[in-house]
Structure 1
């Protein structure tokens, strides 16, 4: 019987709290929490999506980077496919050193610098752009590297990994430079057929030159902190509702404690003493 009575009291209190919350004031707070929780959920899902992208990149690197080089085929660079990225390809041709360009704003390990692009003309009359590597910014002349190691002359055998072309940027570059690896713009500058879907990131050249730009390192095999970040955003969304519930319950208890408190009794009026009556009479006469 006592358990039933306690359960009844608890049920009644719950109903009272719900009625207390069914007011414009608390509906406003609930709406705010819903908006913030939706934002937290969206950010959590975004982090999960970024983790999926990182996982796909890692899987592609692991599958392709250290493969035995495959013979050149035009579709590798004319129609880029994500599952072929980082695949080493063997190409034979001659560098067009006159068509060389440097790409601006290409940091490496936190150091500012450039990347060197040179078209490799193939025997079929087309050309594939080869990224020969990285150079630091120059000290002798602002906006340019001090020295660009020349590409080998004559026929050369190149092993390069497939990389996708980059979008155009809304900024210009000085003569002989590019703002990004925008192969369509590069082809317009060269004036002859160049594959524009992908370029080759240099792995080796035969014959090897005496000096060359800095070779790129293998991409890091790391998924990043995206999973932990997503869990944090989801937790924040849940805590918003927990905080709202706690605040509502505390405010309900405070309001009902104030309402249920016994009224403070009025103090009984005390009859003034004879001295106080005499002082009042004198004050009234201005004495």
Structure 2
């Protein structure tokens, strides 16, 4: 029995060793994912501090050519002076805000002495008919000084397109915007409105600060921790199941042994010679008395 127990103990110690090694590996991978997450957080915060809240620079300084765009300048505020082409306003469909459906309002801005820069003036909710806003606040008339944050143009969304015969488009795909407005536009970037002077009495809801997205590193970190904990939980479950099955086997063996002992006692009683009174009782039972 002691040899069996020793063998079982060695087996479970081996299993425990494998689980510990697996958990250590998971710990290293979780630490690596967390380090990557923190590195990206630092980069994103630096980007927002250096760009989002930076002082505005002239548009032609940040974007020297119509088709140029530097990804490092995303969110950089740029300033320009010119006039809005309000009659060429476009609405970008399916842009929810706080769970409410709505549209982004794009207005071409004719830069003084230059070309057209597309300005996203903000968000408006859907109207009563759900297909268009009830009202789109008009931009200021005449010469306006605009400050907007740079964003790259958006790609096409599969087969989604705008609504024919309307001023609605599916995404800020600048090639489609170019086909709908007059003049040559900046084809690689557009701007999210920060401010405009003079300021109108009413305006769309301005875009909020960007959400920090560091990718999947944080979720991978959680997954590796769960794998490590799950390995110990699985080992404990298997250990309990084996003990339970062994207890049931031992209980069944004890029952079989008891039945064997009882059968042996009955056999011995049957083989033992009967006393006179026992024989007499059997004869009376057989006669029905």
Q: Is TM more than 0.5 here?
A: yes
Give CA deviations for 1:217-270 in whole Å, capped at 9, x if unaligned.
3346x6799887555322210122212322343445456664797771513253
Mapped contact 1:103–1:116 kept (Cα < 8 A): yes
Task: Tell me the SS of whatever aligns to 1:135.
Answer: strand
Distance 1:276 1:89, change over 3 A: farther
Give CA deviations for 1:99-134 in whole Å, capped at 9, x if unaligned.
210112222233322111011123455321101112
Please give the TM-score of this superposition, normalised by the length of structure 1.
Answer: 0.70
- Structure 1: runs of 5+ lacking an equivalent: 1-5, 22-29
Give CA deviations for 1:145-165 in whole Å, capped at 9, x if unaligned.
112122233332211111222
Measured in 2, the distance between the counterparts of 1:275 and 1:165 equals: 113
Between 208-217 and 60-69, report the one with greater CA deviation: 208-217
- Structure 2: runs of 5+ lacking an equivalent: 271-277
Larger Rg: 2
- After the TM superposition, which residues 1-287 of structure 1 pair with which residues of structure 2 at under 5 Å, given as runs? 12-17=7-12, 55-73=42-60, 74-75=63-64, 78-123=67-112, 125-139=114-128, 141-170=129-158, 171-174=160-163, 175-190=166-181, 192-219=183-210, 229-253=219-243, 258=249, 264-265=257-258, 266-267=260-261, 268-270=264-266, 271=269
Task: Tell me the SS of whatever aligns to 1:264.
Answer: helix
Q: Number of residues paired by the alignment?
A: 260
Please give the TM-score of this superposition, normalised by the length of structure 2.
Answer: 0.70
Task: Tell me the SS of whatever aligns to 1:236.
Answer: helix
User: Alpha-carbon deviation of 1:18?
Assistant: 7.7
Measured in 2, the distance between the counterparts of 1:124 and 1:172 equals: 33
Measured in 2, the distance between the counterparts of 1:275 and 1:123 equals: 134
Measured in 2, the distance between the counterparts of 1:111 and 1:235 equals: 36
Task: Let me know the Cα RMSD of the aligned residues.
Answer: 4.4
Mapped contact 1:51–1:226 kept (Cα < 8 A): no
Distance 1:145 1:55, change over 3 A: farther
